[in-house]
Chains A and B, each alone.
Chain A
């Protein structure tokens, strides 16, 4: 780790920790909480999409499966501590069922099967009304608490979620530095060369997909028990596309990029609310502009910056 690496990291942590001291607006903090949860989901998406290069529009559905598992279990009276485990088991099972037969498919087909999976999950949530609450969702979900101890108020939740995000990023960084992370990127760069170097590419794809689903499932669990209200809209196909654009705009394959993209694109619509419908028009055009002009996302622009400065 050089100064170049740890300085932005330390700066980010300090800013993140100081935000609640600057603003006491609960609305702002709640928005940030959702942004942090999205960042965890996008970090998860990065495994399969950013590193292995597999398109995945099912991430929002895993997010939703995690949230609904927790919501339903907590409302049924199960202690909170069981819910992360339940959510993880459900999303692992679902990602295995979806991933095993489909990960060998080519890009277009994989895009379609993951979109289809998301739609099927959404339809089940919408129509299984007695359990899921249908389109009106689940309200008053019990909060986070272990033996009666849990975060109170938005600010405490904020710090808890920041801690979880930090762990999620750390685990992602460790995976990247391990043989597993290198196998993922090797699979993306050349599947056949990876295979001939002893990498089981099928297994690598599946593991990346499942780790990503677990990230989404855990974020979903925390979403349900910290926001305490869930509805199908938060986990729809549109959300899957938003998550994908967060990854692209932030920078595929870059851990800070995932966080920047997720936080930025969660806050931006609120900041640009005055644009009304035009916001989404500009959003779409903005995504196209990033893909065309900066395929590495904002993270790649940031890394180019010092070079420009140095050139002068």
Chain B
């Protein structure tokens, strides 16, 4: 039981990270990136290329992955977001999905279809108490989530960038008029959004192995979390992520592991039927 909680929370932390990446982009440009899972997958593979193929030290592999992800995020923005600014969300969804297909198949061409493993950046014997085993990697995941949550909170509320981001989100046109470097702000949001999913990829690869098709389902879990937590809601994303991790772990253990991926959607549909704007509400509102 306690073990399931730990495993569920570790899984949920990864979902929360995907959701936090989505949130960063959503809060700035009000679009939902349906290729976030594929960005996660790229993060995992770039990490593997660094740490396994080129045998870089782990810290260096992580750092280079984050740098690469920032660049990918900006390229992504130029290819997907700029041409579609102001177009209906429907088309943005399809464009990001199409971009996901592109990224997934590029990864298949570069890295092949076989699953690959990435070692954890932390080593050491697992902690045990009261029959519950917490591996060092799980501990590392919890710490990473906590640090990122803190940093993101500080960034959004205390820094100049956070204020610029909010201004951009509220009214792009006015933001530009008052001299906010709108494009640079958006670029930073996309870069950080991609970095967060890259980190999620680096964290998930030591547990589940990495393969080019891994992104689809993980990306969708990120959305389910965003929906449960309310799009653009920081605590909502974290609580939603942990909640989903627990649901899946317990569902797989006590109901059926075959339907592991279905629980997320069942919970999401139930939440939306009861609260059409997500459990924690949505930050943005529309005019009637």
Binding site for B on A (CB under 8 A): 53, 55, 101-102, 104-109, 111-113, 115-117, 119-120, 123, 126-127, 192, 237, 241, 244-245, 248, 277-278, 280-281, 283-285, 287-288, 291-292, 295
Asked if A109 contacts B276 (CB within 8 A), the reply is: yes
User: A206 to B69, alpha carbons, bound, how many Å?
Assistant: 42
Residue from A120, A126, A281 within 8 A of B102 (CB atoms): A281
- Nearest B residue to A286 via CB reads B98
Decide if A108 touches B89 in the complex (CB within 8 Å).
yes
A283 x B101 contact (CB < 8 A): yes
A251 to B99, CA, bound (A): 20
Q: Across the two chains, which residue of chain A brings its CB closest to B266?
A: A120
In the complex, the answer to whether B98 meets A101 with C-beta atoms within 8 Å is no
B262 touches A120 (CB 8 A): yes
What bracket does the count of chain B residues touching chain A fall in? 35 or more
Report B210-253 residues with CB < 8 Å from chain A CB.
Answer: 216, 220, 223-224, 227, 231
Tell whether A112 pairs with B268 under 8 Å between CB atoms, given A245-B98, A281-B109.
yes
The residue from B32, B97, B109 contacting A278, defined by CB atoms under 8 A apart: B109
State whether the Cβ of B71 lies closer than 8 Å to any Cβ in chain A: no
Question: Contact at A55–B259, with CB atoms within 8 Å?
Answer: no
Contact B98 A288 (CB under 8 A): yes
Indicate whether A277 sits within 8 Å of B269 (C-beta atoms), given known contacts A119-B262, A291-B94, A292-B83: no
Q: Is the contact region of chain B dominated by helix, strand, or loop, or is it mixed?
A: helix
Given contacts A241-B101, A284-B105, A291-B95, 14 further A-B contacts (CB under 8 A): A55-B93, A107-B93, A115-B220, A119-B261, A119-B262, A126-B258, A127-B259, A244-B94, A278-B109, A281-B102, A283-B98, A284-B101, A287-B95, A288-B95
Q: Give A165 Cβ to nearest chain B Cβ, in Å.
A: 25
Contact of A105 among B84, B231, B276 (CB under 8 A): B276
**B265 within 8 Å of A by Cβ?**
yes
Pairs across A and B, CB under 8 Å, 29 listed: A101-B273, A105-B272, A106-B276, A107-B88, A107-B89, A108-B231, A112-B220, A112-B227, A113-B265, A113-B272, A115-B220, A117-B265, A119-B220, A120-B262, A123-B258, A127-B258, A192-B288, A244-B94, A278-B105, A280-B102, A281-B106, A283-B98, A284-B98, A284-B99, A284-B101, A288-B99, A291-B91, A291-B95, A292-B84
With both chains docked as a complex, state the minimum distance between the C-beta of A136 and any C-beta of chain B, in angstroms.
16
With beta carbons under 8 angstroms apart, the residue of B91, B108, B262, B288 that contacts A295 is B91
The one of B97, B224, B264, B269 that contacts A102, using a Cβ cutoff of 8 Å: B269
- Residues facing A in B55-107 (CB within 8 A) are 79-80, 83-84, 87-91, 93-95, 97-102, 104-106
The answer to whether B32 and A108 touch across the interface, beta carbons within 8 angstroms, is yes
Q: Judging by beta carbons under 8 Å apart, are A245 and B94 in contact?
A: yes
Contacts of B268 in A (CB 8 A): 112-113, 116
The answer to whether A109 touches B227, judged by C-beta atoms less than 8 angstroms apart, is: yes
B40 to chain A, nearest CB (A): 17
Bound-state Cα–Cα, A277 to B269, Å: 34
Name the residue of chain B whose CB is nearest to the CB of A53.
B90
Among all A-B residue pairs, the 3 with the closest Cβ atoms: A116-B265, A284-B102, A284-B101
> A55–B224 Cα gap in the complex (Å)?
17
| B 184-210 to A, binary, CB cutoff 8 A, 1 in contact else 0 | 000000000000000000000000000
Q: State A106–B80 Cα separation when bound (angstroms).
A: 21
The interface residues of chain B lying within 8 Å CB-to-CB of A101 are: 269, 272-273
Interfacial residues, chain B to chain A (CB-CB below 8 A): 32, 34, 79-80, 83-84, 87-91, 93-95, 97-102, 104-106, 108-109, 216, 220, 223-224, 227, 231, 256, 258-259, 261-262, 264-266, 268-269, 272-273, 276, 278, 288
Q: Closest CB of chain A to B260's CB: distance in Å?
A: 9
Chain B residue at minimal CB-CB distance from A118: B265
- Contact residues in A for B105 (Cβ distance below 8 Å): 277-278, 280-281, 284
CB within 8 Å for A123 and B94 given contacts A241-B101, A284-B101 = no
Most buried by A among B84, B94, B224, B256: B94
Q: Which residues of B contact A244 (CB under 8 A)?
A: 94
Once the chains bind, are A102 and B273 in contact (CB under 8 Å)? Answer: yes
Inter-chain contacts of B108 with A (CB < 8 A):
277
Partner of B265 from A120, A192, A277, A292 at Cβ < 8 Å:
A120
Contact of B272 with A109 in the complex, beta carbons under 8 Å: yes
Question: By the criterion CB–CB under 8 Å, are A285 and B102 in contact?
Answer: yes
Q: How far is the CA of A184 from the CA of B80 in the complex (A)?
A: 29
A116 to B270 CA separation, bound complex (whole angstroms): 11
Q: A109-B227, A288-B80 are in contact. Are A123 and B101 (CB under 8 A)?
A: no
- B272: chain A residues at CB < 8 Å are 101-102, 105, 109, 113
Q: Which residues in B have their C-beta under 8 angstroms from that of A115?
A: 220, 265
Flag if B102 contacts A111 (CB, 8 Å): no
Cα distance A102–B227 when bound, in Å?
Answer: 13
Set B91, B93, B262: member contacting A108, Cβ < 8 A: B93
Could you tell me if B261 and A123 are in contact, using CB atoms closer than 8 angstroms? yes
Tell me how far the C-beta of A121 lies from the nearest C-beta in chain B, rounded to whole angstroms: 10
Q: Which residue of B lies closest to A276 (CB)?
A: B109
Q: How far is the CB of B120 from chain A (nearest CB, A)?
A: 30
- Min CB–CB distance A245 → chain B (angstroms): 7
B269 partner, pick from A53, A107, A116, A248, beta carbons under 8 A: A116
